[in-house]
Amino acid sequence: MRLITCGGTPFSRGLNYGTLLKNTIHFNLEKFWLAFRERNIDRVTVLQKTKQVSQNYSDKLIEEIKGIAHGAELEFNELLAFNLCHGVIFTDECTVMFALGNTTASGKSLFMKNSDKIGAESLVGSDFHQHKEINVVLAIRDENGPDIVGVAAAGSTGLKMGVSSLGIAVGANISRTKELAQRKVDTTQMRALDRTQLGREGLQKSTALEAANYVSAKIANNPMATPGNLEFVDSTSGVIVEGSYDRLAIQILKSGIASRANSFVVMKDLNNPNDVSSYCRYSRTQQLLRENTGNLTPDLMKQFSQDHGNGPGPNSICRHGTHYTEETSLSSMVVEIDENNPANTRFWISLGKPCHAWQNSEACFEASFNELEQIPEQFLNGDIWKRFYTEEPSN
């Protein structure tokens, strides 16, 4: 199985990843540097800032990136920059919703995330579709820690959304604050932390609260590159970390439902009042969750991820657009957490436009951690995403 490494060190896992996705990683890295050149930020500055921020990440993560670089035949410092500064250039626009056991039909916690992205002029070529970044499934077995499955940008160790065999799910999304609207990418942001990497490190912890406390301590010392949310959910609680440039808030839920679009709820005074999409999607997620409280199932969460209320368009949960610069949905994940046996936690992943991908058996799959080796190869190398990220259904 291509991207699954059974056992081995972080370096060996990265080596496998880098070797098998060598061409795609080279292409992604080229476009990464082009994006910085378009913003008049030179490579030397990015590499210098990356060295500074790398001190805030675990040794295991750094070793895995070294392995990817070796396998892809790239300079380590360049791939380190791609991983740690990725969120500065390619921010995650997303919708997240979850329901704890007292609100679901099975009594098990449910989690859902749609990953959305803005396209860019630089994202062209055989490995991009409609100027968007390719999504792949990243599946890892680890003899020294929990197994992890999630969705990532090809070549990245960070997770847009994922789940661990300890029964913790994670999502991450930007918050479009008033300050963000006035701020351009600069070298200050490159000294800050990346949400997708923080989410990946949080999945090494035993509970959602422990994961949230861990990433919050890091953010308190060094903020995220852009304002945003991290959502951790386990069988008994959901914890949402909201972080901006100079402040931090944590919401802890032991029951009920919650959701986030690209805005804050606890720190709502920071939100950009012109961000209509986030308001519409947050209101719609709250409506769907509340109307179905007590009857929520994985199938319903998949339906919610395809929802076109307030759309279809940029204001719907399943986001569509007419131009590549619009924020549109690229992939989706649903998780049902098994409290008694976390390794039996089930997850469903679709790559591509949710309203198309969930409807086609070739574009989505269901599995548990006991079935990692059965994940179809086309999800691991990105071929499925290339077929199903379209505004119209793909055959």
Q: Average pLDDT, whole number, for the chain? A: 89
Residue bearing the bigger pLDDT, 185 or 28? 28
Q: Is residue 70 part of a domain?
A: no
| Residue 383 pLDDT exceeds 60 | yes
Burial 154-188 (b: 16+ CB within 10 A, else e): bbbbbbbbbbbbbbbbbbbbbbbbeebeeeebeee
Residue 134's domain comprises 90-388
Mean pLDDT over residues 276-292, rounded? Answer: 97
pLDDT of the residue at 78: 94
Please tell me whether the peptide bond between 342 and the residue prior to it is cis, using omega within 30 degrees of 0. no
Q: Is residue 111 part of a domain?
A: yes
pLDDT of the residue at 394: 65
pLDDT of the residue at 129: 45
* pLDDT tens digits, 215-259: 999 999 888 888 999 999 999 999 999 999 899 999 999 999 999
**Cβ neighbours of 221 (radius 10 Å):** 9
Q: Is residue 58 part of a domain?
A: no
Task: Tell me the backbone φ, ψ of residue 325, rounded to 5 degrees.
Answer: -80, -5
Residue 287 maps to which CATH number? 3.60.60.10
Residue bearing the bigger pLDDT, 228 or 89? 228
Cα distance between residue 78 and residue 217, in whole Å = 27
Structurally, the chain folds into a number of domains equal to 1
Q: Is residue 217 part of a domain?
A: yes
What percentage of the chain has pLDDT greater than the value 90?
61
Q: Is residue 267 part of a domain?
A: yes
Query: For residue 140, which of 2, 31, 234, 240 has the smallest C-alpha distance?
Result: 2
| Residue 192 pLDDT exceeds 90 | no
Which residues make Cβ contacts (< 8 Å) with residue 170, sequence separation at least 6?
Answer: 150, 159, 161, 162, 163, 199, 200, 202, 203, 211, 230, 231, 232, 233
| Residue 119 pLDDT exceeds 80 | no
Mean pLDDT is highest, among 23-32, 81-90, 207-216, for: 207-216
Q: Is residue 379 part of a domain?
A: yes
* pLDDT tens digits, 336-370: 999 999 999 999 999 999 999 999 999 999 999 99
Please give the model's pTM, rounded to 2 decimal places: 0.92
Calculate the CA 289 to chain-centre distance.
21
Strands (E), the chain: 92-99, 110-117, 135-140, 148-153, 161-164, 169-174, 228-233, 238-243, 248-253, 257-260, 328-336, 346-351, 364-368
Which residues make Cβ contacts (< 8 Å) with residue 175, sequence separation at least 6?
Answer: 226, 227, 228, 229, 242, 244, 262, 263, 264, 270, 271, 278
Residue bearing the bigger pLDDT, 210 or 382? 210
Q: Is residue 74 part of a domain?
A: no
Q: Is residue 215 part of a domain?
A: yes
* pLDDT tens digits, 122-181: 444 444 444 567 788 999 888 788 999 999 988 899 999 999 999 999 999 999 999 888
| Residue 392 pLDDT exceeds 70 | yes
